[in-house]
């Protein structure tokens, strides 16, 4: 399980936090499909009174999240670096631009496998949110470590047959904490 006291990584100012509005997208998390980091957004199941499992919400492994916002908005400029030359390329709406932001001809665009995502830029165009339930926030790193513990606490998550599971006590504890936070 991720160590929540892990050291702050350089270059990661923000973390994604999924809150109580998360429905897990009925077990097929849309945000997870957008995340470029393996096993960063994870489906969490709750135990049912009958002993079964049902999707509860997603949790973000704070040790893995790079703060790229790709789970948050579909309206970002992606910044890629060429793996061999180190050149920077910008991608927005499937178009590629060079480091001076000049639009490139398709023949000038490197192949996808030659590029690695090194970050994103928002330019205040965050109006195409990925989550249909508006359950995702991008939060300053230290605050995110604190806030995310209201919605998923790795200490209470077990792995059962390869699935992340929270039991009824863990769920109750989270929901109590959430009520406190919301002043209910
Ligand atoms: S897209 Fe929103 S509702 Fe769906 S799993 Fe992600 S945070 Fe939860
Ligand atoms: S901010 Fe990026 S790395 Fe973090 S959960 Fe969202 S998509 Fe994944």
Residue 81 has pLDDT above 60, yes or no: yes
State pLDDT tens for residues 122-173: 776 657 899 999 999 999 999 999 999 999 999 899 999 999 999 999 999 9
Strands 77-82 and 115-121: antiparallel
Number of the ligand closest to the Cα of 37: 2
pTM: 0.81
Structure token pair of residue 41: 């957004």
Mutational pocket test of ligand 1: of 19, 29, 56, 60, the residue with most ligand atoms within 8 Å of the beta carbon = 29
Q: Residues near 169 by Cβ (< 8 Å), separated by ≥ 6?
A: none
> Does 2 score more than 80 pLDDT?
no
Average pLDDT of the chain to the nearest whole number: 89
Q: What is the mean pLDDT of residues 71-100?
A: 93
- Give the CA distances from residue 120 to residues 26, 60, 68, 131, 152, in Å, rounded to whole numbers and listed in that order: 28, 19, 6, 18, 26
Nearest residue by C-alpha to atom 1 in ligand 1: 131
Per-residue pLDDT at 18: 97
Ligand 1 cavity residues, CB under 6 Å = 18, 22-25, 29-31, 58, 130-131, 133, 135-136
3 state SS of 71: coil
* Band of residue 7 on the pLDDT scale cut at 50, 70, 90: very low
**Per-residue pLDDT tens digits for 20-42:** 999 999 999 999 999 999 999 99
* Nearest ligand (C-alpha, residue 133): 1
pLDDT score at 120: 86
138, β-bridge pairs:
16
CB 60, CB 69: distance < 8 Å: no
Choose between 182 and 154: higher pLDDT: 154
Residue 86: strand, helix, or coil? coil
Using CA atoms, how far apart are residues 89 and 110, in angstroms rounded to an integer? 9
Write down the pLDDT at residue 51: 86
Give residue 178's pLDDT band: very low, low, confident or very high (50, 70, 90): confident
Please check the confidence at residue 1 and state whether its pLDDT lies above 50: no
Which residues, other chains included, contact 181 with Cβ-Cβ below 8 Å and sequence gap of 6+? 150
């Amino acid at each position: 399980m991720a160590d929540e006291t892990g050291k702050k990584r350089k270059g990661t100012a923000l973390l994604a936090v999924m809150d109580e509005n998360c429905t897990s997208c009925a077990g097929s998390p849309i945000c997870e499909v957008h995340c470029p980091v393996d096993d960063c957004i994870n489906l969490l199941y709750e135990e049912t009174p009958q002993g079964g499992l049902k999707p509860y919400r997603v949790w973000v492994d704070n040790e893995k999240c790079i703060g790229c916002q790709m789970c948050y908005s579909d309206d970002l400029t992606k910044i890629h670096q060429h793996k061999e030359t180190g050149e920077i390329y910008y991608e927005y709406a499937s178009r590629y631009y060079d480091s001076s932001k000049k639009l490139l001809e398709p023949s000038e665009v490197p192949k996808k496998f030659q590029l690695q995502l090194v970050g994103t830029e928002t330019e205040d165009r965050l109006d195409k949110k990925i989550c249909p339930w508006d359950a995702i926030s991008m939060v300053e790193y230290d605050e995110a470590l604190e806030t995310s513990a209201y919605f998923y606490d790795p200490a209470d998550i077990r792995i059962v047959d390869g699935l992340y599971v929270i039991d009824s006590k863990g769920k109750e504890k989270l929901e109590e904490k959430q009520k406190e936070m919301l002043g209910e």
